Structure 1
Amino acid sequence: MSDEFRELLKRVGSGTHTSKNLTRTETATATKMMLLQEATPAQIGAFAIAHRIKRPTPEELAGILDAFEVLGSKLTVNPHHDYKPVVLGNPYDGRSRTVPVTIITALILTTVNVPVVMHGGDCMPTKYGIPLIEIWQQLGVNFSDFNLAQAQEIYDQSCLGFLYLPQHFPEAHNFVPFREQIGKRPPFATAELAWCPIAGEANLVAGFVHPPTEERFRSAFKIRGTNDFTLVKGLEGSCDLSRSRTAIIAMGRSGSDFERLLLDPHDYNLRGSDILLESKSQVISLTQEVIEGSKSQLLPAAILNGGFYLWRFGRAKSLQEGFQLAADILITGKVKTKLSQLQTLCN
C-alpha cells in the first residue's frame, strides 16, 4: 500500500462537502502512481470512482496530461512537412452507435500534405465500441505492429502517424482492466481526448459530449499553454461532426482569442441523418465505398468533416471551398491513392 497515494485519495474521496481539489502537481503524481501501479488495486479503483464523482478541475486535468506527457511515447514533428500536424483525439472505447468517418478525414488531410496523428488501443470498456485500430486493420493498414521508430518513419513518409497504446503507452494499456472493473469511465477517459502524442507544435482536436467538458478543456489548455486547438461536440464524443444537428465548435489559435463556430450542415446542403452503426462489416464496407470514390450514403458525412477540417487547417479559404475540395479529393481517387501508399509502407 502507498501511504503517499492514500493521502491523495483521502483528499478527493471525502464526499460531496468535504472533498478537496488536488493541485496540478499532486494530480500528476497520483496519475503516475496509478499508471505505474505503485498504488494498490483497491486504491486505484477508489480514486478513479471518487475523482469521477467529484469531477476533475481544469488544474487536475492539466496534471493528468502532464503525467501522460511524461509516460507516453511521442512522435516528433517533421520539419520537412508543409503544415503543422493535426492530432485527432477520440474516445478510446470506440464507436457503438454511429458510423465513424474519422479515418476518412485523416486520409483527406494527409492527401493534401496536412500531417495527422491518431492514437488509441484495442476494444475496451466501457462502451466496447469499434476502435480506430480495427478499422485501419480491415483497410489493410496495421499500425499495431510497429515500434516507435517504425511509427515515426511511416509518419515521416506518409504524413500519418498512429500511437498504439500496447506498443507506445503500455502504462495506459495496462490500466484497461481497472476501467472494466469499475464499470465507469474514469477521468483518464476525458484526458485522453486531449493528449498530444507528438513532440513539437501541433493542432489539437478533441471531441466532447457534455458542454462543461469543453469549458474544462479550454481552461486546462490555458494552464498548459496549449493555444492551437479545436473542440467539437461530435458524434459519441468523437471529432466527427454530425449531419443531423448544428455543430458546436470551439477554436483556439496562437495570438488570437477563442472563437465559437456554429456550423449548420443545412447551410451547405449537407444536412441529413447520421448513419446508425449495425456491424463492423457495415462500417468497413461503407468506408471502403467512400475511399473508392463511390457515391456511398456515407459520402456526405465524409465531405462535411473533410471540408471543415480542410478549412480549419488552412487548405481552403472558406467552408464552401473546403467542402468542394473534400468532394474532389474523394471522387477523383486521391484518397484511394493515399491509402495504397499506407498499405505499402505498413506491409
Structure 2
Amino acid sequence: MSRAFRELLKKIGSGAHTSKDLTRAEAAQAMTMMLTQAATPAQIGAFLIAHRIKRPTGAELAGMLDAYEQLGPKVPAINSAQPVVILSQPYDGRDRTIPLSILTALVLAAAGCPVLQHGGERMPTKEGIPLIDLWRGLGVDWSGCSLAQIQQILEATNLGFVYLPTHFPQAQALVPYREQIGKRPPLATLELIWSPYAGPCHVVAGFVHPPTETMIQEALTLRGVTEFTTVKGLEGSCDLPQERTAIIGLYSVVDGEASLTRLRLHASDYGLGGKNPAWANLNDSIVAMEAVLDGRFNQLRQALLWNSGFYLWQYNDFENLTEGIQQAAKLLDSGQVKQQLKYLKQVCDTHFQKFCSL
C-alpha cells in the first residue's frame, strides 16, 4: 500500500461536506502513482470512483495531463507549416451515431492539413465502436506502428494515429478499472484533451455537459495552451450534429488575454440538415463510408460535408463556412479523398513490410 497515495485518496474521498480538491501538483502525483502502479489496485479503484463522485476541477485535469506529458508517448514533430489538428473522440466509442472523424481527417489530409487521432480498442463502460475498428474497416491498421513510423506516415500522408495498447501501456493498464467501477472515471475527460504530439498542435475536444467544457478550458489554459476548440458534439465527440444547433467554442490567448468566440451553427442553413447518421453495425458503416469516398450521395455524405467543411474553414484559411463546404465537396467529387486513403494504405503497408523484415 502507498501511504502517500492514501493521503491523496482521503482528501478527495471523505464525502460531500469534507472532501477537498487536489492541487495541480497533487493531481499529477496521483496520476503518476496510478500509471506506474505505485498505488495498489484497491487504491486506484477507490480513487477513480471517488474522483468521479467529487467531479474533477480544471486544475486537477491539468495536473493529470502533466503526468501524461511526463510518462506518455509523443509522436515526434513533423515538418509542417501549420499545427497538427488533434481530433478527439471518447475512448469508449459510439453506439448511436456513425463516427465521422476518420472521414473528416481524410478530407483535411487531402487538403494539406495534418491530423492526429488517438484511442484504443472497445472500452468500458459504453463499449461503443472505437476509431481503430473503423480504420481497420477501411484497410488501415495502426496498431503495429511504432511512434517513429507514425511520425513518418503523418509527415507523408497528413494522417496519424496513436494506439493506446501499443504506445501507452501504462494508461492501457487502467482500462479494466472502468469495468470494475461501472462508471466513466475522470480519465475519460482527460483523454479528450490529451495531445500525444511533440510539435505545434490544435486540440479539438468534444463534450456533452457545459461544466465539462469549463473544466477543459481551465485545464488547457493552466497548461499554457493558447488555442483550442471545444464542440458540443455527437456522443461527446468532435463531430458536429445536424439535427440540432452545433455549439462551438474557439479559444485563444492573445497578448496574455484569453478570449472565447462562441459559434452556434445550423446545418439546415447550409442545406445540410437532417438526421444524424445512425449507427447499425460496422459492416454497414464501412459500406456507407466507401460509398461517400466513391462520390456517391447518401446521408453520410451530408454529415461529412457539414463536418469537414467546418474544419476546413477553421484550419485551412477559407473565407467562410460555405467555402469550406464547397471545397470538401470538390475534394470528394474529384476522388482526391479516396486517393488520399489509397496513398495512406500504401505508405502504411510499406512501413509494415519494413517492420516484418527486421
The TM tier, using the shorter chain, reads: over 0.9
Greater shift after overlay, 202-211 or 287-296? 287-296
Verify the 8 A CA contact 1:2 1:40 in the aligned structure 2: yes
> How does the TM-score come out when normalised to structure 2?
0.95
Q: Which residue of 1 aligns with 2:340?
A: 338
Query: Structure 2 counterpart of 1:114, which letter?
Result: C
Corresponding position of 1:227: 226
**Residue deviations 1:93-123, cap 9 Å, x none?**
1111101111010001111111101000011
Query: Equivalent residue of 1:144, what SS?
Result: coil
- Matched residue, 2:244: 245
8 A contact 2:77–2:151 mirrored in 1: no
Aligned equivalents of 2:183 and 2:307: distance in 1? Answer: 30
Whether contact under 8 Å (2:87, 2:205) holds in the other structure is: yes
CA distance in 1, matches of 2:181, 2:319: 47
* Residue 65 of structure 1: aligned partner: 65
Cα deviation per residue 1:251-284 (whole Å; 9 max; x = unaligned)? Answer: 0134262110001111111110012111111111
| Letter paired with 1:282 | D
Partner Cα separation in structure 2 for residue 25 and residue 33 of structure 1: 12
Matches of 2:253 and 2:347, distance apart in 1: 34
More divergent stretch after superposition (286-295 vs 121-130): 286-295
Partner of 2:135: 136
**Residue 323 (structure 2) aligns with:** 321
Deviation at 1:197, TM superposition (A): 0.8
Corresponding position of 2:40: 40
Question: 8 Å contact 1:82–1:114 — kept in the other structure?
Answer: no
* 1:279 equivalent in structure 2: 281
Range moving further from structure 2, 204-213 or 283-292: 283-292
Aligned residue number for residue 217 of structure 2: 218
Deviations, residues 64-97 of structure 1 (Å, cap 9, x unaligned)? 1111111111112223x23211001110011111
Look up the SS of the partner of 1:198 in the other structure: coil
Instruction: Assess if the C-alpha contact under 8 Å between 2:78 and 2:151 holds in 1.
Output: no
The corresponding residue for 2:77 is 77
Bigger Cα displacement from structure 2, 246-255 vs 158-167? 246-255
1:285-300 map, 5 Å: 285-300=287-302
Report the Cα distance in structure 2 between the residues aligned to 1:263 and 1:77, rounded to whole angstroms: 33
Query: Aligned equivalents of 1:71 and 1:78: distance in 2?
Result: 21
Q: Give the distance between the partners of 1:288 and 1:227, measured in 2 at CA.
A: 37
In the TM superposition, what are the counterparts of 1:61-210 in structure 2 within 5 Å? 61-79=61-79, 81-210=80-209
Give every structure 1 segment of 4 or more consecutive aligned residues whose post-TM-superposition deviation is greater than 3 Å.
Answer: none
Say whether 1:56 aligns with 2:56. yes
Does the residue aligned with 2:263 lie in a helix, a strand or coil?
strand
The offset of 1:155, in angstroms, is 1.0
In structure 2, the residue corresponding to 1:151 is in which secondary structure? helix
Deviation digits for residues 285-343 of structure 1 (CA, Å, limit 9, x no counterpart)? 11111112111220000000000000111341100000111111111111100000111
1:111-144 deviation digits (Å, cap 9, x = unpaired): 1111101000011111101100111011111111
Q: Equivalents in 1 of 2:324, 2:92: separation in Å? A: 30
Q: Encode CA deviations 1:207-236: one digit per residue, 9 max, x unaligned.
A: 001011011111111111111111000000
Match of 2:7 in 1: 7
TM-score by length of 1: 0.98
Specify the code of the residue in structure 2 equivalent to 1:306. Answer: S
Quote the offset at 1:159 in angstroms: 1.2
On the 8 A contact 1:83/1:113 being kept in 2, the answer is: no
What is the one-letter code of the residue matched to 1:63? G
1:126-170 deviation line (CA, Å, top 9, x unaligned): 110110011101111111111111111111111111100011111
SS in 2 for 1:258: strand
Alignment check: 8 A CA contact 2:246 2:266 kept: yes
The one-letter amino acid paired with 2:56 is P
**Does structure 2 retain, via aligned residues, the 8 Å contact 1:329–1:335?**
yes
Residue 299 of structure 2 aligns to a residue in which SS?
coil
User: What is the letter of the counterpart of residue 272 of structure 1?
Assistant: G
Query: Where do 5+ consecutive residues of structure 2 fail to align?
Result: 350-358
2:249 partner SS: strand
SS in structure 2 at match of 1:15:
coil
CA distance in 2, matches of 1:13, 1:248: 34
Give the counterpart letter for 1:108 in structure 2: V
**Percent of pairs identical after alignment?**
53
Letter paired with 2:212: T
Answer yes or no: is the 8 Å Cα contact 2:140–2:345 preserved in 1. Answer: yes
